[in-house]
Amino acid sequence: MRGESVFSLRRLGAIIAKEFVQMRRDRITFAMMVGIPLIQLCLFGYAINQDPRHLPTALVNADQGPLTRSIAASLQRSGYFDIVDGDLPERDAREALALGEAQFVITVPVDFERDIRRGRVPVLLVEADATDPGATSNAIAALPRIIDLALEREMARRSVESSAGPPRIDVRLHALYNPEAKTSFNIVPGLMGVILTMTMVMITALAMTRERERGTLEMLLSMPPRPLEVLAGKIIPYIFVAYVQIALILMAAKFLFAVPVIGSLPLLLFCAFFFVLANLGMGVTFSTLAKNQLQAVQMAFFFFLPSLLLSGFMFPFRGMPEWAQSIGNALPLTHFLRIVRGVMLKGNGMPEVIPDLWPICVFLVGSMSIAVIRYRQTLD
């Protein structure tokens, strides 16, 4: 009965069974595992409006013709743009933009209408305050369509046929924006990564530190289970929890927010496995450093905050300075966000996913190695 095995499945089973019972008894942690996803989904999905409308817009109108008036009216009707000033001198418009009084400045060039009638392609300059790309992206996305519609209607009404086919306008956008941040669908898939990071790191860090704090570690260490068995036994139940969370979020994405899943679901679940493990490894590492549960939570937050801020979840990744991007690139969440968004929204397959999967695996190997090395077999 007492094998000399280095790794025993029976001892592993003992720990897994025990963890599951403890998980079931620990109401608060359980509530955290289910509650955090739900609260965050509601907060980010509903409360935080990712489709802002009525953005103040200033016109610099050098043309003043009926067509420009019609375009202005269409912009206003779309709901995205509130024309706060129909005719500003160019200098004042810039200032309004700089001061944040206007989110957009649209400049209509001289001879705009005449150029269209002659079949030329005049430039309509749209300058956007892109400090918060999330705020402007939807309006920007809607802009060409709004202008085209206005144009068509105006031309039809006046039954003017231009000599050179349908009228065209070159809408030129001057703004830094991240094309990936275009849709509010972005947020729900992204939340999957954020929630997994938060709960996985924190819960494992807590679970391990709790043994030390409650004194049960002394008992555990005096029994045969080896470090690897203890670590695996602690981690495996949380992999299960992670998939419950993923299922919860995917269901919310589909039924509450109507987010499409264009790509392969199995691929997504496969990638999630490595991401979850990477975070669990991080949690275990923290637990080997923390003296008590409070410290463990603090460390988990220390990891969670940069993940949240620098991964491209809160702010568009390409909008960040280079140093922030390099930190972001070192975090597994950054890569997982790209994978989830890519698979769910763009229908990415394995080849597109690989460039973001291997950094996660590197992180995973790193965090697990530190965890195993630091996990001690003795009390000192």
Partner 1 sequence: MLSDGIAISVKGLGKRFDEKWVVDGVDLEVPAGSVFGFLGPNGSGKTTCIRMICGLLEPSSGSGRCLEFDILKQRERIKREVGYMTQRFALYEDLTVRENLLFVARAYEVDTPRLVADEVMEKFGLADRRNQLAGALSGGWKQRLSLAAAMLHEPRLLLLDEPTAGVDPKARRDFWSEIHELSRAGLTVLVTTHYMDEAERCSDLAYIANGKILTRGKPGFLTRESGLSTFRVHGEKLFELANRLRQFDGVEQVAAFGTELHVSGPDAALLTRALEANCGPGARYEPQETLLEDVFIHLMERARR
Measured CA to CA, the distance from residue 5 to residue 11 in angstroms comes to: 10
Nearest-approach distance from CB 225 to partner 1, in angstroms: 5
Burial code of 124-151, b = ≥16 C-beta within 10 A, e = fewer? bebbbbbeebbbbbbbbebbeebbbebb
Contact between 222 and partner 1 (CB under 8 A)? yes
How many angstroms separate the CA atoms of 176 and 199, rounded? 33
Choice between 18 and 318, CB closer to partner 1: 18
237 vs 319, beta carbon nearer partner 1: 237
Among 214, 254, 291, 374, binds partner 1 (CB under 8 A): 214
Restricting to residues 135-194, which ones interact with partner 1 according to CB under 8 A? none
- Alpha helix ranges (H) inside 256-321: 265-289, 293-310
Which x/- pattern, by CB under 8 A, does the window 300-329 give for partner 1?
Answer: ------------------------------
Closest approach of partner 1 to the CB of residue 33, in Å: 16
Site map 240..269 versus partner 1, x via CB under 8 A: ------------------------------
Six token digits for residue 81: 């743009």
Is residue 221 within the footprint of partner 1 (CB under 8 A)? yes
Angle between helices 9-25 and 227-255 (to 10 degrees): 50
Should residue 226 be labelled a site residue for partner 1 when binding is judged by CB under 8 A? yes
| 118 touching partner 1, by CB under 8 A | no
Secondary structure (3-state) at 141: helix
Residue 354 binds partner 1 (CB under 8 A): no
**Residue 22 binds to partner 1 (criterion: CB under 8 A):** yes
3-state class (DSSP) for residue 126: strand
217/236 with CB nearer partner 1: 217
Judged by CB under 8 A, the residue of 35, 48, 118, 216 near partner 1 is 216
DSSP assignments along 19-66, one per residue: HHHHHHH-HHHHHHHHHHHHHHHHIIIIIS-SS---EEEEEEES---H
By rule CB under 8 A, what count of residues binds partner 1? 31
Contacts with partner 1, 26-65, as mask; x by CB under 8 A: x---------------------------------------
Please select the residue that binds partner 1; options are 31, 160, 164, 219, rule is CB under 8 A: 219
All residues at 6 or more sequence positions from 201 whose CB lies less than 8 Å from its CB, including other chains: 279, 280, 282, 283, 286, 300, 303, 304
Edge-to-edge strands, sheet with 123-128: 81-85, 55-61, 104-108, 123-128, 170-174
Q: Name every residue whose Cβ is closer than 8 Å to that of residue 160 and which is 6 or more positions away in sequence.
A: 117
Nearer to partner 1, 216 or 369 (CB): 216
The residue (of 21 and 31) whose beta carbon lies closer to partner 1 is 21
Binding of partner 1 by 374 (CB under 8 A): no
Structure tokens, 273: 């496995």
Query: Smallest Cα–Cα separation from 244: which of 275, 269, 213, 214?
Result: 269
* Footprint of partner 1 (CB under 8 A): 1-3, 8, 10-11, 13-15, 17-18, 21-22, 25-26, 214-219, 221-226, 377-380
